[in-house]
């Protein structure tokens, strides 16, 4: 019997249709999604919180919450599967919201207990997603009357739809919150445990690869659906401008455009010169990136979500604007005049100062590559942990600077450019090269010199050691779980890209054409005409990237998608594919080889696989045995301790008796 016999093909599975395990009770025949109301979601959140309080009334060890042998047993998972009734698809979302509320409660009362309850909510949400996806894949396999439960490294893309379905809850003012999906809520919460789970990572990878795509409904709500064209080999089938919105392709396109930008920047900063075509292209690119940053801040996150890359973006855009304005001011002066040369020189200096920030952005572009991403996550986590140190250092410098300034004012002999000299002197002290001559002659000698000695002592000995301790602590905490932190960071990046509300994606600097020409047409044309204009323009403007995408998807991605789907259906890994290619008969567990047919006395599968399994120890028995062994060891230690206490009491009694006898 062949390995392939009796199993459905990927094409048969696709023809059978795909449904989501999360949408079985809330999707009508017409495809209109009727999600639960905000009041219902709020009631579900309160119900989950009440059940969590009953499950965890007192503090326990954190390991008992996160481990497989902890309090999250099969019966507990069944209870939380049933807690939502007919709305089981909303249970992970409700648990994550309950986690957020418990974290908020920890700021008011019983910090440790509420933090453990928040952690328990995240663990339960992760286990529920895994349980639901496994059940869905099992139902998909059984629909073909197959004995083998489908599993494997990739689940069907439709099984991830529940993580992308949006819900709203009622706020404290009885108003509906902005719709958010379970995946978006986990990203906003920064839930490392939830985001690093294999099921969530498969969903993130489906979004990254474009196997789950956005569907823009007429009412303005964005939903996700499987990309059913993924397995079709036709080139023109995949030549679609909407594929530019796929995070993977927008990432590769942004790298190519950034390389062009770096070339233009390098050419423009070789020497001070008149305005030429290279510099004009540089300013066009810079304007495109500025518009892209402003759009992203306003539409996606705003300026309230402060992080390292936001600071870098703001600094880069600010320097570009300052350099451009200075350059334009210089052109207002007469040619070859001294004032014009002065302004042009300052513009060039500002442009040159951008080099570290421009090249630093390359690190952000490389973060989808796991090696660079893990390094970046570790470094950013260390910088975040040391923020307290830099705040303390700033306050110390401001305090000593004000003291020296006051001493300079008090003696009546003010130093020229006192602020610049103070800033320079304080910076030298921090960097380990203090300028004692400056404070010896000025700033109220000898008081100023004593203060400067104290500042040098604080920065070189105390604060530097504090910084080393901060870095060491942050590194030790993050490096052990760097992969999990990276997976959460990657999920945040992908979700941020998919959150963009733009239906038609124009990469910078082509977004200037959209902003200046396309967007003004939107109020005056129909929705269909507006979509047609964008489709035609993008097809012409991005012909080369779209051709590369279509070629890749039709030749390579389609074949890989078929293999991935077949593996999910069959439940086999690469070993199955290799065995099929080698012409192996029988099954993967009990193979039949051609040489066995020639040498009937020699067999590989002489003992059936099921008999081999019977000889293996049960994992359950092993775990129970380990638990029993631990209990016995604990009991032995307790008895040993009691015997030592009895012996100590006896020695104490003998000593007291001897003392009384002596008296």
620-645: per-residue pLDDT in tens? 555 555 555 665 566 667 777 777 88
Task: Read off the pLDDT of each residue in 349-373 and give the average, rounded to a whole number.
Answer: 86
> How far from each other are the two terminal CA atoms of the chain, in whole angstroms?
97
Task: Return d(Cα 331, Cα 275) in angstroms, integer.
Answer: 10
Task: Return d(Cα 592, Cα 589) in angstroms, integer.
Answer: 10
The 10s digit of each residue's pLDDT in 555-581 is 877 666 666 655 555 554 455 555 555
Task: Read off the pLDDT of each residue in 461-490 and give the average, rounded to a whole number.
Answer: 81
Residues 6+ apart with CB under 8 A from 232: 238, 554, 558
Task: Return d(Cα 339, Cα 68) in angstroms, integer.
Answer: 73
Most confident option among 270-274, 296-300, 523-527: 523-527
Task: Return d(Cα 511, Cα 99) in angstroms, integer.
Answer: 39
The 10s digit of each residue's pLDDT in 45-104 is 999 999 999 999 888 888 888 888 788 888 888 898 888 888 888 899 999 999 999 998
**Position 5 pLDDT exceeds 60:** no
Q: What is the pLDDT of residue 260?
A: 94
Closest CA to 285 of 310, 312, 264, 315: 264
The 10s digit of each residue's pLDDT in 202-248 is 889 889 988 888 887 776 677 888 887 766 777 787 888 888 889 99
The 10s digit of each residue's pLDDT in 242-266 is 888 899 999 899 999 999 999 999 9
Q: What is the pLDDT of residue 108?
A: 82
Q: What is the pLDDT of residue 148?
A: 40
Q: What is the pLDDT of residue 257?
A: 93
Report which secondary-structure segment, H or E, holds 212: strand 212-216
> Over the chain, what is the mean pLDDT?
78
Bridge partners of 170, per DSSP, are 176
Q: Of the given ranges (28-32, 134-138, 238-242, 466-470), which has the lowest mean pLDDT?
A: 28-32
DSSP E strand boundaries for 578-644: 585-586, 591-592
* Cα 611 to chain centroid, rounded: 45
Closest CA to 260 of 550, 535, 510, 513: 510
Q: Which band of pLDDT confidence, cut at 50, 70 and 90, is reported for residue 22?
A: very low
Q: Give whole-number Cα distances, 523 to 518, 519, 529, 530, in Å.
A: 10, 8, 11, 9
Q: What is the pLDDT of residue 18?
A: 36
Phi, psi at 377, each rounded to 5°: -60, -45
**What is the pTM assigned to this prediction?**
0.75
**Position 538 pLDDT exceeds 80:** yes
Task: Return d(Cα 189, Cα 196) in angstroms, integer.
Answer: 13
Whose tokens are 């005409």? That residue is 529
Q: What is the pLDDT of residue 154?
A: 36
Task: Read off the pLDDT of each residue in 169-181 and give the average, rounded to a whole number.
Answer: 83
Sequence length of the chain is 663
DSSP letter, residue 180: E
Cβ neighbour number for residue 437 with a 10 Å cutoff:
9
Cβ neighbour number for residue 445 with a 10 Å cutoff:
13
Q: What is the pLDDT of residue 542?
A: 92
Cβ neighbour number for residue 307 with a 10 Å cutoff:
12
Q: Give whole-number Cα distances, 2 to 150, 452, 569, 573, 588, in Å.
A: 18, 84, 16, 16, 10
Report which secondary-structure segment, H or E, holds 213: strand 212-216
Tokens of 68: 């497989």
Q: Of the given ranges (52-66, 110-124, 367-381, 438-452), which has the lowest mean pLDDT?
A: 438-452
**Of residues 636 and 533, more confidently modeled:** 533
**Position 619 pLDDT exceeds 80:** no
Task: Read off the pLDDT of each residue in 359-388 and give the average, rounded to a whole number.
Answer: 81
Q: Are 508 and 285 in contact (CB under 8 A)?
A: yes
Tokens of 59: 């503090």
**Position 130 pLDDT exceeds 80:** yes
Task: Return d(Cα 512, Cα 172) in angstroms, integer.
Answer: 41
Q: Which band of pLDDT confidence, cut at 50, 70 and 90, is reported for residue 32?
A: very low
Tokens of 310: 């936001």
The radius of gyration of the chain from alpha carbons, rounded to an integer in Å, stands at 33
**Of residues 437 and 165, more confidently modeled:** 165
Q: What is the pLDDT of residue 289?
A: 92
Percent of the chain with pLDDT over 70: 76
Q: Are 164 and 204 in contact (CB under 8 A)?
A: no
Q: Which band of pLDDT confidence, cut at 50, 70 and 90, is reported for residue 502?
A: confident
Whose tokens are 């910088």? That residue is 383
Tokens of 381: 């986590």
DSSP letter, residue 23: S
**Position 449 pLDDT exceeds 90:** no
Closest CA to 92 of 215, 206, 197: 197
Q: What is the pLDDT of residue 43?
A: 92
Which region holds residue 221: left if phi is over 0, alpha if psi is between -120 and 50, else beta? beta
Task: Return d(Cα 570, Cα 623) in angstroms, integer.
Answer: 30
Query: Please, how many CA atoms are within 13 Å of residue 126, restricted to the half-sphere of its CB?
Result: 22
Is the four-CA dihedral 58, 64, 70, 75 of positive or negative sign? positive
Task: Return d(Cα 365, Cα 256) in angstroms, integer.
Answer: 10
Q: Which band of pLDDT confidence, cut at 50, 70 and 90, is reported for residue 8?
A: very low
Closest CA to 487 of 475, 495, 497: 495
* Cα 560 to chain centroid, rounded: 25
């Amino acid at each position: 019997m062949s390995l392939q016999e009796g199993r459905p093909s990927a094409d048969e599975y696709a023809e059978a249709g795909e449904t989501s395990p999360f949408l079985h009770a809330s999707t009508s025949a017409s495809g209109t999604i009727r999600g639960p109301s905000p009041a219902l979601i709020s009631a579900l959140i309160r119900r989950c919180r009440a059940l969590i309080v009953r499950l965890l009334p007192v503090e326990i060890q954190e390991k008992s919450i996160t481990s497989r042998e902890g309090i999250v047993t099969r019966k507990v998972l069944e209870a939380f599967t049933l807690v939502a009734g007919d709305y089981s698809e909303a249970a992970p979302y409700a648990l994550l919201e309950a986690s957020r509320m418990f974290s908020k409660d920890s700021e008011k009362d019983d910090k440790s207990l509420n933090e453990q309850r928040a952690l328990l909510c995240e663990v339960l949400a992760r286990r529920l997603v895994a349980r639901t996806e496994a059940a869905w894949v099992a139902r998909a396999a059984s629909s073909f009357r197959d004995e083998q439960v489908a599993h494997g490294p990739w689940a069907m893309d439709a099984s991830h739809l529940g993580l992308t379905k949006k819900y709203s809850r009622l706020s404290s003012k009885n108003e509906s919150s902005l719709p958010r999906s379970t995946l978006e809520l986990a990203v906003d919460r920064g839930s490392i445990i939830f985001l690093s789970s294999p099921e969530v990572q498969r969903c993130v990878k489906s979004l990254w690869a474009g196997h789950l795509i956005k569907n823009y409904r007429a009412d303005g709500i964005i939903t996700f659906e499987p990309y059913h064209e993924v397995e079709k080999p036709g080139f023109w089938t995949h030549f679609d401008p909407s594929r530019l919105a796929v995070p993977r392709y927008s990432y590769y396109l942004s790298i190519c455009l950034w390389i062009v930008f770096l070339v233009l920047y390098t050419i423009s900063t070789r020497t001070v010169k008149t305005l030429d075509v290279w510099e004009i292209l540089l300013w066009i690119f810079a304007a495109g990136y500025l518009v892209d940053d402003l759009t992203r801040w306003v539409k996606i996150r705003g300026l309230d979500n402060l992080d390292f890359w936001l600071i870098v973006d703001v600094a880069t855009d600010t320097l570009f604007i300052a350099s451009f304005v200075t350059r334009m001011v210089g052109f207002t002066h007469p040619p070859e005049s001294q004032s014009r040369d002065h302004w042009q020189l300052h513009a060039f200096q500002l442009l040159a100062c951008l080099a570290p920030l421009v090249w630093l952005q390359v690190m952000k572009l490389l973060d989808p590559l796991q090696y660079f991403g893990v390094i970046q996550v570790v470094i950013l986590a260390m910088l975040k942990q040391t923020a307290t140190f830099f705040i303390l250092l700033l306050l110390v410098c401001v305090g000593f600077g004000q003291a020296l300034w006051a001493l300079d004012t008090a003696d009546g002999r003010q130093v020229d450019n006192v602020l610049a000299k103070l800033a320079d002197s304080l910076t030298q002290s921090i960097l380990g090269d203090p300028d004692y001559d400056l404070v010896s002659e000025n700033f109220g000698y000898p008081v100023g010199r004593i203060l400067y000695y104290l500042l040098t002592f604080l920065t070189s000995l105390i604060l530097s050691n504090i910084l080393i301790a901060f870095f060491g602590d942050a590194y030790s905490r993050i490096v052990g779980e760097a992969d999990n932190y990276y997976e959460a960071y990657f999920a945040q990046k992908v979700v941020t890209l998919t959150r963009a509300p733009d239906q038609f994606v124009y990469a910078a600097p082509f977004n200037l054409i959209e902003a200046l020409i396309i967007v003004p047409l939107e109020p005056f044309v129909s929705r269909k005409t507006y979509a047609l204009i964008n489709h035609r323009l993008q097809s012409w403007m991005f012909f080369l990237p779209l051709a590369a995408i279509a070629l890749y998807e039709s030749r390579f991605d389609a074949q890989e998608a078929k293999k991935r789907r077949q593996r999910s259906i069959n439940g086999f890994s690469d070993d199955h594919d290799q065995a099929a290619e080698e012409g192996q008969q029988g099954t993967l567990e009990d193979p039949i080889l051609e040489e066995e047919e020639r040498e009937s006395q020699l067999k590989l599968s002489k003992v059936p696989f099921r008999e081999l399994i019977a000889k293996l120890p049960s994992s359950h028995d092993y775990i129970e045995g380990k638990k029993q062994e631990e209990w016995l060891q604990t009991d032995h230690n307790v008895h040993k301790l009691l015997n030592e206490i009895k012996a100590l009491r006896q020695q104490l009694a003998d000593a007291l008796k001897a003392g009384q006898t002596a008296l």
